[in-house]
Structure 1
Amino acid sequence: MGQVITFGEVLMRISPRGKKKFIQSNVVEFFFGGTELNVGVSIANFGGNVKHIGVVSEDFIGDTAISYINKFGVDTSSIGRSKRPLGVYFFEVGAVMRPSTISYNRSHSSFSEIKPDMVNWDEALIDGEWLHWTGITPALSQGSFDVLKEGLQKAREKGLTVSADPTYRRGLWQYGKDPKEALSELLHYSTIFIGGINEINEILGTEYSYSNEDFIRASKQLMQAFPSIEKVFDKIRTSLNSSWHKIRARMWNGKKFHETKDLDITHIVDRVGTGDAFAAGLIYGLRRFDDCKAMEFGSAACALKHTYEGDVNLTTVSEVTTILEGDISGRLNR
């Protein structure tokens, strides 16, 4: 199969060990991640051929980030370097009724200053079969929006499948572009929509409820507004507290509605990157299975990510398959 290509910012996450607050600890640990990179690394862990495109700092932190990405077999040949620092975020892990907390330091990062002449899309897409983007990237700067739009145009010209996870985070859109208009512009180049009612309502200006009936209606209206979109997938999270969630997923592919069963996650280790794990499992599955099985694979991959520290899902195809076969015992393998 051809490459799955992801485009977005590489971030360093800094956290106190365990579930401590920063004020409790003078010992921290770091992880590398970033929404799109998390998707790429997870697909690579499943055995996929993946390339990540972005910009990292031209220092030992950037060197370390690239070494980390290479460790998973992800192609880094299209990652540029910048004199600006790598983006950082600080994360306190919550527990039970105490929520997790994040503080970002990325407004003048190496990636935020990206410009169209820094990515040669014709070269970067040579082996590409699938391009994945999220709403995080166009929110960061005019440059990141422009580069992404050019990449999507080139990808569609070359016949790539384009998946969109139009995550909307109001606080990131600080450079003057209207989020609804920007995301709508980019969705015209997308074929797979990975998002739920919140994202659809934000883009269409609608007020659909969370019911399955409204999800189908919303998906149909989305496909009418953006005719290139062929399928809509939605991950649903039910939070009992910070440590106990339920995960399921649903889809509308233009012909059929399907919903998975709940997967109970009673003792969350780390929930960061779990949506990315769903997207990665879904993309991996859509290239191999029918839509229903692909979504079930994505849902199980998402559930497993809750058991790993860090931003990236380290689970394997065999581990996901075990969950799909109904074995959630977590018994010791010898």
Structure 2
Amino acid sequence: MTGEKTIDVVTIGESMVLLQPMTEGPLKYSPLFTRSIAGAESNVALGLTRLGKKVRWISRLGIDPFGEMIESTLAGEGVDTSCVLKDPEAPTAIYFKEFKGYGDPNVFYYRRGSAASRLAPRDIQPEWFDGARHLHVTGITPALGEQTADAVRTAMKTARERGLTVSFDPNLRRKLWKEETARSVLLSLIPLCDVFLPGLEEAEFLLGPKTEEQYGDHFLNMGPGVIALKLGERGSVGFAEGLRCRAEPYKVSKIVDTVGAGDAFATGFLSVLLDREQPLEPSGLSKTLPEALLRANIMGALATQYKGDWEGLPTLSEIERIQSGKQGITR
């Protein structure tokens, strides 16, 4: 690919309107709801934009008020939405969270038959990647429709052909597809990425019980150059050829909502890699990989401190202040 690179990251995937009850308790008794947007790829787009990166988000949206809300919210935060496709025949998806005051929230999707579920290989346009450095995709989009897995596969191949690096977060959603199908599709996409970002539970789902080191070695042998394995309360561990490093967790006193924490981790990790002109250069990874894991752990922990998938994500100055241990001036 030639020409000036003006977009740091392209990301492709469904965003939905999120409705959350204003009080805790069973969803069926909730009279009032707040409205926001959510989706793994748009969460990453919003987070990276706040960290100073230029991001292009692409999806299919219905021609309806919910689609308008999603597009205007992203554009208002500085995300490039110029390549979004509009579907006159299918709706924009929605989902609900239910908070009962204990444990993770229950999630209810209404996305079957949505505009994004109709994403197909023919939709993937090479010009989407013009002037871009990196593509980020997740394992959610392949689960949405009959052709969405092939669409994601086409996007990954096209991006690499045009000189972009590619990251892939499996982001397993068991509610969306059968386990055998999920395992087969997710494993088939790993060789098409340069950066693989599984959680420990996802690694076990894909490969069965193994040690952390065995997961790292196995995934590296499948093709990616960098693996970041999320360990939850134990932090994270990264792998590259001849390199293994661990980052301690960022401690928080309570957890409000874990939804979106993995997307925040990916945001922090990619933001550090993309600070480098050649982010996957082996000679630089010994310094970059520990820094990326550290920021990723902080971002993931911060995302558990508020309801909503992205609203509380920090700006670049805020994350740098947190990392430096300095107290910000608030009044």
TM-score > 0.5, shorter chain as reference: yes
Do structure 1's residue 134 and structure 2's residue 138 form an aligned pair?
yes
Q: Tell me: CA distance 1:273–1:162, structure 2 relative to 1, closer, same or farther (3 Å).
A: same
Mapped to 2, the partners of 1:314 and 1:220 lie a distance apart of 32
Q: Tell me: CA distance 1:23–1:179, structure 2 relative to 1, closer, same or farther (3 Å).
A: closer
**8 Å Cα contact 2:200-2:230 kept in structure 1:** no
Give the share of equivalent positions with the same residue, in percent.
Answer: 28
Aligned letter for 1:93?
F
Do structure 1's residue 33 and structure 2's residue 38 form an aligned pair?
yes
Secondary structure of the structure 1 residue equivalent to 2:204? helix
Residue 117 of structure 1, CA deviation: 2.4
- From 93, 96, 104, give the equivalent of 1:90: 96
- CA offsets 1:205-255 (integer angstroms, 9 cap, x no match): x321xxxxx21122112222x12x1111122223xxxxxxxx622211222
> Please, what TM-score do these two structures have when normalized by structure 1?
0.87
Q: Tell me: CA distance 1:6–1:299, structure 2 relative to 1, closer, same or farther (3 Å).
A: same
Residue of structure 2 equivalent to 1:324: 323
- From 282, 302, 305, give the equivalent of 1:304: 302
Residue of structure 2 equivalent to 1:333: 330
**8 Å Cα contact 1:78-1:119 kept in structure 2:** no
- 1:77-226 mapped onto 2 (5 Å cutoff): 77-82=82-87, 83-95=89-101, 97-120=102-125, 122-173=126-177, 178-204=181-207, 206-208=208-210, 214-224=211-221, 226=222
- From 253, 257, 262, give the equivalent of 1:266: 253
Residue 262 of structure 1, CA deviation: 2.5
Aligned letter for 1:41?
L
Task: Give me the CA root mean square deviation.
Answer: 2.0
Mapped to 1, the partners of 2:35 and 2:219 lie a distance apart of 39
**8 Å Cα contact 2:133-2:164 kept in structure 1:** yes
Mapped to 2, the partners of 1:98 and 1:63 lie a distance apart of 33
Secondary structure of the structure 2 residue equivalent to 1:103? strand
The 10-residue stretch of structure 1 (77-86 or 49-58) with the greater mean CA deviation from structure 2: 77-86
Secondary structure of the structure 2 residue equivalent to 1:309? coil
**8 Å Cα contact 1:308-1:314 kept in structure 2:** no
Mapped to 2, the partners of 1:272 and 1:279 lie a distance apart of 13
Give the number of aligned pairs.
313
Secondary structure of the structure 2 residue equivalent to 1:112? helix
Residue 332 of structure 1, CA deviation: 6.1
Residue of structure 1 equivalent to 2:231: 236
Mapped to 2, the partners of 1:304 and 1:196 lie a distance apart of 17
Q: Tell me: CA distance 1:116–1:194, structure 2 relative to 1, closer, same or farther (3 Å).
A: same
Residue 303 of structure 1, CA deviation: 1.7
Q: Tell me: CA distance 1:283–1:98, structure 2 relative to 1, closer, same or farther (3 Å).
A: closer
**8 Å Cα contact 2:8-2:274 kept in structure 1:** no
Gaps of 5+ in 1: 209-213, 239-246
The 10-residue stretch of structure 1 (44-53 or 188-197) with the greater mean CA deviation from structure 2: 188-197
Residue 159 of structure 1, CA deviation: 1.8
Mapped to 2, the partners of 1:88 and 1:100 lie a distance apart of 16
Aligned letter for 1:207?
P
Residue 146 of structure 1, CA deviation: 1.5
**8 Å Cα contact 2:200-2:231 kept in structure 1:** no
Mapped to 1, the partners of 2:200 and 2:28 lie a distance apart of 37
Residue 84 of structure 1, CA deviation: 1.2
Secondary structure of the structure 2 residue equivalent to 1:91? strand
Mapped to 2, the partners of 1:88 and 1:255 lie a distance apart of 44
Aligned letter for 2:291?
K
Mapped to 2, the partners of 1:181 and 1:77 lie a distance apart of 33
